Structure 1
Amino acid sequence: MGKLFGTDGVRGRANEYPITPEMSLRMGKAIASVFGDIKGKKSRVIIGKDTRLSGYMLETALTSGLISMGMDVYLVGPMPTPAVALLTRSMISSAGIMITASHNPAEDNGIKIFGSDGFKLTDAIENKIEKLILSDKPINPDPKSSVGKAYRVDDVGGRYIEYAKNSVDHMDLSGLRIVLDCANGAAYHLTPILMKELGCEVIKEFVEPDGLNINHQCGATYAERLADSVNKYRADCGIALDGDADRVIFTDHEGTVVDGDRIIAICALAMKEAGTLTGNAIAVTSMSNMGLLKLMEANGIKAVVTDVGDRHVIAAMRKGNIKLGGEQSGHIIFGDYSTTGDGTVAALRVLQLIKQTGKNLKELASVMDIFPQQLVNVMVKKKPALNTLPGLTGLIAECEKDLGDSGRCILRYSGTEKKLRILVEAQAQKDVDKWVKKFVATAEEELCS
């Protein structure tokens, strides 16, 4: 058995190792073993989930493991990932668990864990849990502890709604018409409500989950699909969340996609002007467009670059007291409000700027010039260290020499899937196309045979 935790918790095909009832029960016991004796914290765990059918299976197994070890479990049902992080803190819990595979298809599922502070776990704590799960020894409760209880809690969504509205000071957003795509996921019931309560005219799409349609040709990974709806309803913008609503992608009133890099650019400049961008710094990942980095440099804003994954961005933000960070994929973190990526809060902050400035999203996004960039995923059969592959290693060196300071290439494995991600960026599209073609051919030769 290999390593369980990837870049964002444990993830895989439901009913296949490690996303099985047996492993989930043992994971519940391991989590209880690690978090059940935290001083000053009641032994309770919050469990939320997205709308996947397999969520029932994993929820039940996790709950059994946790209560067998003496912990109480509060089941909050379908809930955005950032809401689970919030509830973990506000309900004074030892830990929070979100059952989700984020933007992945319905047949996948996964488990994300938050500490009592609402932040994702450190590598050290994940390793401690993983060691217990993969051990051959049984995970037994303290003989002195009693069995815990499980409670179904149906009235906590309002806490997240008020928290999200507070992130924009309950600003009146009336006059804005938006198309809201909830990906048939965790935010299908809460985000439309709070948008309406702030005055938006909301055209809802993909808000009828059936357990199998989450992310199916909708949501943040299909944001370009919003263009037709935005044009049809003459909306001010389109907003697409992913399955667990921790990321967001926009389209402007003309249907042009506005990704996470542009959202960060818009918000960074606004926060600097308002004097709320501490240290004049943001945190982004190595996948962020060079256009964002050059814009920040031109405006005297330092961009701290981390490895891919919002947990790495958040770690850099906490270390440097940075108030804004995120990823091109749409994970946006506002440090004054969130402990994880929050698509709904990011959407509200952008709508707030549209209202305050009187500019449409296209005008706001025009502050940043995009370098031509292409991200390609190659399905692989194995994941050896890239520096052990002579073909790809040589090609990387050749590409870097050819592009110089005007471009770059980044190759990395997905932390949750059997994929090699290939990113090429350059000033000219022809150079991007040329190098992507070379990398894909070499990757297929070395990793797919």
Structure 2
Amino acid sequence: MANKLFGTDGVRGVANTFPMTAEFAFRLGQVLSDLICTGSKRVAIAKDTRVSSYMLESALIAGFTSMGVDVVKMRVVPTPLITSQIQELDVDMGVMITASHNPYSDNGIKLIDRYGDKFSDEWSSRVEELLISDRKFIPSKDAIGKVYKDKTSVPTYMENVLAIAPTPDALSGLRLVVDCANGAFSKIIPQIFKSLGAGIITLANTPDGYNINKDCGSQHTENLSQIVVQSHAHLGIAVDGDGDRIIVVDNLGHRIDGDQIIAFLATYLNKHGKLKNNAVVATVWSNLGLEKYLHNLGIDFYRTPVGERYVIEKMRATGACLGGEESGHMVLSDYTRTGDALIAGLVVCLGLLEDGRKAADIFPVFNKCPCLITNIRFENADEVSKVFEADEVKAVIEAAQEQIAPQGSIIVRKSGTEPVIKVRVEGEIESFVQSLSQKIVSTIEAQRG
């Protein structure tokens, strides 16, 4: 069954609008209790700083405890913290309440298995089938769960991150500007970089429930760039609301995307003999220039469908320890199970200091091939599906793919997190890329209702 609620990264929507309602969260808690929480009968729940996260947390807790499942309440922590610490909590699964890089008005629910991995497509489908079924749950007066506060995961996570650095003052001499997106990393990131000796300026670390990702974070780096230049910092780092995405800004304020970060990390790890199986994993969305750069270094390069989960699956299949997405998800599996902006940022800083050059002299690591990405926004998911399946749209995409092969690629996909069709055209000749992109985008626009 094709999932209608669960996308590539859980379920997401506008807060207090289906499916991001208290009623939905309560039923989801009951469904997960019946389907998943049958071992220790315990679940861990974490959240980001959105005002609606508290509502959804309360509803989920009610759903789980009504079915006799105990809840370990982790409070506000980043996604990579719950994925890395979940095995220590003796739970059947975890739930992360977040809409990642989206504005405060949105929210979402990510489902995490007891090993720290996001639910597979198969398990997401099983959850969704039970959610939309007529199945009624009858709680028992003799089986009511309790709520416990987690007190160990944050200090343990921070100790593990600090242990990555070769010395306690490994970042001494580094001037750094950090944008916490008013999100889940607002307290942790400044503490870590300060503890390692960096001189830091911290931005967007005063969450109020409404300012998460607002003109800050990985999606809005303009202010970060300005402060980096004004303060003569070596580097700027921006994360998103739940801390699994990183964007870097060099000393001249230039934004460095995920592909360039992957290239830098691969070079650094390869130099130190730490690039396991001589392999790197990225998605079909990564620039062709990254693939060429890594091949020139003799590094094997693998592509997956878009989605961090698919990157991680391929990393495990190939034995790679580095994978990521152009959007900024970086997975360094020797240190973490999923994308972790703090860990990726720390390793970038270590590499920068070791190199000795200014960031603007290092980045870009490789020259990109011409690529145009257009996001076409719609009113809702139904309109997206209707346009995406239109014969005219399919025909223009097929024709364009035949024209650009084998020197380039065309990807047209529905976003897994918002009502958007993404059009990506990449090739070696810029004018040709622009022409094909315009044809596809204009055809899609013409199909609007």
Q: Give me the TM-score of the superposition, normalised by structure 1.
A: 0.94
Where structure 1 has 5 or more consecutive residues not aligned to the other structure, the ranges are: none
Q: Which amino acid aligns with 1:226?
A: L
* 1:442 alignment counterpart: 443
Q: Does 1:91 align with 2:92?
A: no
Matched residue SS, 1:29: helix
Matched, 1:420 2:417: no
Aligned to 2:145: 148
Shift of 1:177: 0.7
Opposite residue 197 of structure 2, the aligned amino acid is G
Q: Does 1:27 pair with 2:20?
A: no
SS of 1:406 mapped into structure 2: coil
Q: Please list the CA deviations of residues 402-448 of structure 1 after superposition, one character each: whole Å capped at 9, or x if unmatched.
A: 434433221000112111001122334433333332222111112x2
Structure 2 counterpart of 1:167, from 152, 164, 168: 164
Tell me if the contact between 1:182 and 1:205 (Cα under 8 Å) persists in the aligned partners: yes
User: Quick one: structure 1 residues 2 and 136, their matched pair in 2 at CA, closer, same or farther if it must change by over 3 Å?
Assistant: farther
Do the aligned residues in 2 keep the contact of 1:55 with 1:99 (CA within 8 Å)?
A: yes
Alpha-carbon distance between aligned partners in 1 of 2:167 and 2:132, rounded to the nearest angstrom: 47
In the TM superposition, what is the alpha-carbon distance from 1:145 to its structure 2 partner? 6.1
SS of the residue 2:404 aligns to = helix
Deviation string, structure 1 residues 148-184 (Cα, Å, up to 9, x no partner): 1112335642222112222334551111111100111
3-state SS, counterpart of residue 313 of structure 1 = helix
1:348-373 alpha-carbon deviations (Å, 9 max, x no partner): 01001012222332333343111222
One-letter amino acid matched to 1:436: S
The 3-state SS of whatever aligns with 2:220 is helix
Q: Which residue of 1 aligns with 2:395?
A: 394
How big is the shift at 1:35? 2.4
- Unaligned ranges ≥5, structure 2: none
Mapped to 1, the partners of 2:141 and 2:147 lie a distance apart of: 19
Q: Structure 1 residue 23: deviation in Å?
A: 0.6
Q: Which residue of 2 aligns with 1:298?
A: 296
d(CA) in 1 for partners of 2:197, 2:372 = 38
Structure 1 equivalent of residue 384 of structure 2: 383
Say if 1:294 and 1:134 are closer, same or farther in 2 by CA, change over 3 A. same
Could you tell me whether the CA contact under 8 Å between 2:256 and 2:364 is conserved in 1? no
Q: Residue 7 of structure 2: SS of its match in structure 1?
A: coil
Which of 226, 230, 233 does residue 232 from structure 1 map onto? 230
Of 254, 257, 265, 2:255 maps to 257
* d(CA) in 2 for partners of 1:314, 1:27: 26
Stretches of 4+ moved more than 6 A in 1? none
TM-score of the superposition, structure 2-length normalised? 0.94
Checking the alignment, whether the CA contact within 8 Å between 2:181 and 2:214 is kept in structure 1 is yes
1:430 correspondence with 2:431 = yes
Deviation at 1:317, TM superposition (A): 1.1
Equivalent position amino acid for 2:38 in 1: D
In the TM superposition, residue 279 of structure 1 has moved relative to its aligned partner by 1.8
2:188 to 187, 190, 204: 190
Give the secondary structure class of the aligned counterpart of 2:12. Answer: strand
In the superposition, relative to structure 1, how do residues 146 and 414 fare at CA in structure 2: closer, same or farther (>3 Å)? same
- Amino acid of the residue matched to residue 442 of structure 2? A
What pairs up with 1:330-409 in 2 under 5 angstroms?
A: 330-380=328-378, 382-384=383-385, 388-409=389-410
Distance 1:160 1:170, change over 3 A: farther
Mapping for residues 25-104 of structure 1, pairs under 5 Å: 25-38=26-39, 42-104=40-102
* Aligned alpha-carbon RMSD (Å): 2.0
Would the alpha carbon gap of residues 132 and 387 (structure 1) be closer, same or farther in structure 2, given more than 3 Å must change? Answer: closer
CA contact (8 A) 2:181 2:239 kept: yes
**Secondary structure of residue in 2 paired with 1:207:** coil
Name whichever of 61-70 and 387-396 sits farther off.
387-396
- The match for 2:216 is 218
Amino acid across the alignment from 2:163: N
Shift of residue 387 of structure 1?
7.7
Is the CA contact (8 Å cut-off) linking 2:33 and 2:69 kept in structure 1? yes
Percent of aligned positions that are identical: 38
Paired with 1:32 and 1:113, the residues of 2 have a C-alpha distance of 13
State whether structure 2 residue 159 is matched by structure 1 residue 158.
no
| 2:348 alignment partner, SS class | helix
For residues 167 and 315 of structure 1, the distance between their equivalents in structure 2, rounded to whole angstroms, comes to 24
- Which whole-Å CA distance do the structure 1 matches of 2:159 and 2:362 have between them? 27
Aligned partner of 1:205 in structure 2 is 203
